[in-house]
Amino acid sequence: MTARRFSETATTTRVWQRMLSGRRLDLLDPSPLDIEIADIAHGLARVARWNGQTSGAHIFSVAQHTLLVEAVMREQMPRVDVPFRLAALLHDAPEYVIGDMISPFKAVLGGDYKTVEKRLLSAIHIRFGLPAVLVPEVERQIKEADKGAAYLEATELAGFAEAEAKRLFGRDPGLPAATRQDYLTPWTAAKAEKRFLARFNALYA
């Protein structure tokens, strides 16, 4: 989406969302000052992964997914720096505003969706002391952890056969059994929000 099209949209349609914190976040020109971690945790805990097509008594939330991704990164890279772990935890944070769209639908929407998503993520990074844009190597490492988490979710919760999941997402990341069981048992929204905030505070501190 060009700058002109962004401007035209902004003058004809409301492009901001009011948060429970009272902040008003502009989706086209997000300010780091309007971003609060409590809003992110609350929103992500109520957004369903896989369009809700998962087994269990509760949705598998994006908040729980991000915790799983960070756990996979720790398993794959035990010595990874704490800021990169924080970046992994926040990698899907824009979805507290724009929701979680499955990859096939993102492909249908094209570049406009990605533009909005990237702007939001850059503002979130700045708000919490991370680079606006991560270096490619860190992005790659987070993406690998994300794919590992997707493999686990696909096979444990979303009904994918192992062969299909391997073709789409790569290999099983090999999490310890206790960790695997914990992170792949869908939590209530309240529990997902609480654990996301606790992990954020541990990393951000």
User: pLDDT per residue over 47-74, tens digit each?
Assistant: 999 999 999 999 999 999 999 999 999 9
The reply to whether 8 falls in a domain is no
pLDDT of 113 reads 77
The reply to whether 40 falls in a domain is yes
The reply to whether 18 falls in a domain is no
Q: Which two structure tokens, joined as six digits, stand for 42?
A: 């609350």
pLDDT of 11 reads 53
Q: In CATH, what number is assigned to the domain containing residue 197?
A: 1.10.3210.10
pTM of the prediction?
0.89
The reply to whether 15 falls in a domain is no
Q: Is the pLDDT of residue 127 over 50?
A: yes
Q: Is the pLDDT of residue 116 over 60?
A: yes
Beta-bridged to residue 24, according to DSSP, are: 18
Average pLDDT over residues 195-205: 96
The reply to whether 136 falls in a domain is yes
Count of domains observed in the chain: 1
**Cα distances (angstroms) measured from residue 76 to each of 53, 72, 85, 148:** 28, 6, 12, 10
The reply to whether 4 falls in a domain is no
The reply to whether 10 falls in a domain is no
Got the DSSP string for 143-172? HHHHHHHHHHHHHHTS---HHHHHHHH-S-
Q: Is the pLDDT of residue 9 over 60?
A: no
Q: Which two structure tokens, joined as six digits, stand for 158?
A: 């979303």
pLDDT of 111 reads 65
Average pLDDT over residues 98-117: 76
The reply to whether 59 falls in a domain is yes
- Which structural domain, as residue segments, surrounds residue 182? 34-204
